[in-house]
Amino acid sequence: MTTACEYKPGLEGIPAAQSSVSYIDGKKGILEYRGIPIEELAVKSTFLEVAYLLIWGKLPTKEELAAFETEIRYHRRIKYRIRDMMKCFPETGHPMDALQTSAAALGLFYSRRALDDQAYIRAAVVRLLAKIPTMVAAFHMMRRGNDPIQPNDNLDYSANFLYMLTERIPDPQEAEIFDRCLILHAEHTMNASTFSARVTASTLTDPYAVIASAVGTLAGPLHGGANEEVLEMLEEIGSVDNVRPYVEKCLKQNPKHKFMGFGHRVWKVKDPRAIMLQNWAEELFEKKGRDEYYDVAIKLEKVLVEEKGFGERGIYPNVDYYSGLVYRKLGIPNDLFTPIFGISRVAGWLAHWKEQLEVNRIYRPTQIYTGDHALSYIPMEERV
Ligand code: SDX
């Protein structure tokens, strides 16, 4: 018999899987992918190499990486029928809904569930990693009334995405910093969207449905959707002078007001990813000019962490706090910040999909029933 003491809202602190994909120490500020510190991978690796590491559990040899990159490059284009489907999406729709719909649509073409076939698994990994950036860029172009830009086979993964999105070849610094952002967002142990991916994977459905589940979960403002909300908050604050009045107003209205981009279930120090993103934002600002909202963000962090006691309570900026300021400087619109998070996290979701297939046990937790028992059906005329 399950007792109330075993129930933890949000499954806080409850292991939902055994995994070797990544590791976090929220107090020491450690994040490792397959045992390698994120700080090393972010500056020494590339997103596709990290995706290979996460999914197949080892750094690829030169030949393995070259073959993987070639396969990805070959599969970047999306079927015209998916493109035609996307043309029917409302221009005002959110790109995360477009991404979730088009990711699921891939299953219409490749839904065989040969989950014990390594060739099927590899093909699904390649298709999802290769086509999801193209689908995000295609929706963005079409919602502005333009034809989608075809992938440029001369460009690597990150440069090609920026090219498809902005219609211009990015400079090396932009492509490099964007690739590092993708590395940073690729994996993060048992976050909500990864848990969603594992639950969906546990029913042995196809990988396209798994990714569609995870995309829908990531979209929420308490999860990946926070990066877009942070920019809206900074834009609402508007200036450094208005930071304190804004904070006072929010806390007066609701002492439990949740400031977007702050706090985390695991990180009780400043998220190391936020630190790196902040450094890369400053690298971009040196060359492209400072963003006025960066000063607002710095001031808000100082006021909340130092003056409002957030620091003492372990509430610090998380990965979503500074990422939008990097993307803005790369010419990316606010509502694409979360889809970009999704483009990256597909690597982690696929790693957990494969790991869950090896567990091969459907998720079916229990509950603590709090309702009534043995009630009688009430005829319509007697209802109030
Ligand atoms: C991501 O899980 C992951 O790994 C996710 C992620 C990943 O890479 O996959 O890291 C990506 O989703 C980052 C988080 C992005 N979301 C936000 O920035 C939204 C704002 N943050 C909060 O909603 C919150 O911090 C969560 C959702 C991120 C975490 O929620 P928890 O762990 O359930 O924490 P909680 O709500 O129980 O808060 C604990 C305390 C509460 O105060 P008390 O009741 O103890 O007095 O901290 C306070 C909260 O009020 N608190 C905040 C706060 N976050 C927590 N107070 C003000 N502002 C905040 N942002």
- 237-274 pLDDT per residue, tens: 999 999 999 999 999 999 999 999 999 999 999 999 99
Q: Which atom of ligand 1 is nearest the CA belonging to 261?
A: 18
Q: Are 186 and 196 in contact (CB under 8 A)?
A: no
Three-state SS at 32: strand
Q: Which atom of ligand 1 is nearest the CA belonging to 321?
A: 18
* Structural domains of the chain, count: 2
Does 4 have pLDDT greater than 70?
no
Tell me whether residue 245 is in a domain.
yes
Residue with the nearest Cα to atom 56 of ligand 1? 258
Structure tokens at 232: 């809206």
The rounded Å distance from CA 264 to ligand 1 centre is 4
Which among 69, 89, 182, 83 is positioned nearest to 130, based on CA atoms? 69
- How high is the pLDDT of residue 127? 97
Q: How far apart are CA 136 and CA 221, in angstroms?
A: 19
Query: What percent of the chain stands above pLDDT 70?
Result: 99
What is the CB neighbour count within 10 angstroms for residue 235? 12
Residue with the nearest Cα to atom 37 of ligand 1? 265
Q: How far apart are CA 180 and CA 176, in angstroms?
A: 6
Which among 30, 146, 28 is positioned nearest to 83, based on CA atoms? 146
**ipTM of the predicted assembly exceeds 0.90:** yes
Q: Are 200 and 209 in contact (CB under 8 A)?
A: yes
Tell me whether residue 379 is in a domain.
no
Look up the domain containing 187 and give its range: 22-221+336-358
Does residue 16 line the site of ligand 1, with CB under 6 A?
no
The rounded Å distance from CA 263 to ligand 1 centre is 4
Signed CA dihedral, 332, 333, 337, 339: sign only: negative
Beta strands in the chain (DSSP E): 22-25, 30-33, 36-37
Whole-model pTM above 0.80?
yes
Does residue 256 line the site of ligand 1, with CB under 6 A?
yes
Instruction: Choose one of 14, 228, 262 to mutate for the ligand 1 pocket test, by most ligand atoms within 8 angstroms of C-beta.
Output: 262
Q: In what order do the strands lie in the sheet with 36-37?
A: 22-25, 30-33, 36-37
Tell me whether residue 230 is in a domain.
yes
Active site residues: 264, 320
Residue with the nearest Cα to atom 41 of ligand 1? 256
Residue with the nearest Cα to atom 31 of ligand 1? 265
Structure tokens at 15: 């292991």
The rounded Å distance from CA 193 to ligand 1 centre is 15
Does 283 have pLDDT greater than 60?
yes
Q: Which atom of ligand 1 is nearest the CA belonging to 271?
A: 10
Does 68 have pLDDT greater than 90?
yes
Q: How far apart are CA 362 and CA 364, in angstroms?
A: 6
CA 213 to centroid of chain Cα atoms: 12
Q: How far apart are CA 363 and CA 16, in angstroms?
A: 9
The one-character DSSP state at 149 is P
Residues 194 and 279 in one domain: no
The rounded Å distance from CA 376 to ligand 1 centre is 42
Does 161 have pLDDT greater than 70?
yes
Does 323 have pLDDT greater than 90?
yes
Residues 172 and 274 in one domain: no
CATH of the domain at 311: 1.10.230.10
Residues in the chain: 384
Q: Which atom of ligand 1 is nearest the CA belonging to 191?
A: 2
Structure tokens at 113: 């569930």
Residues 140 and 66 in one domain: yes
> How sure is the predictor about 113, in pLDDT bands with cuts at 50, 70 and 90?
confident
CATH of the domain at 201: 1.10.580.10
Residues 352 and 251 in one domain: no
Q: How far apart are CA 219 and CA 100, in angstroms?
A: 9
Structure tokens at 242: 């208005």
Does residue 199 line the site of ligand 1, with CB under 6 A?
no
Does residue 259 line the site of ligand 1, with CB under 6 A?
yes
Residues 168 and 267 in one domain: no
Residues 256 and 171 in one domain: no
Q: Last residue of some domain: 280, 313, 329? A: 329
Residues 346 and 293 in one domain: no
Structure tokens at 347: 């690597």
Tell me whether residue 343 is in a domain.
yes
Instruction: Choose one of 258, 267, 273, 340 to mutate for the ligand 1 pocket test, by most ligand atoms within 8 angstroms of C-beta.
Output: 258
The rounded Å distance from CA 265 to ligand 1 centre is 6
Which among 150, 169, 167 is positioned nearest to 159, based on CA atoms? 169
Numbers of helices and strands, H then E, in the chain: 16, 3
> How sure is the predictor about 111, in pLDDT bands with cuts at 50, 70 and 90?
confident
Residues 60 and 190 in one domain: yes
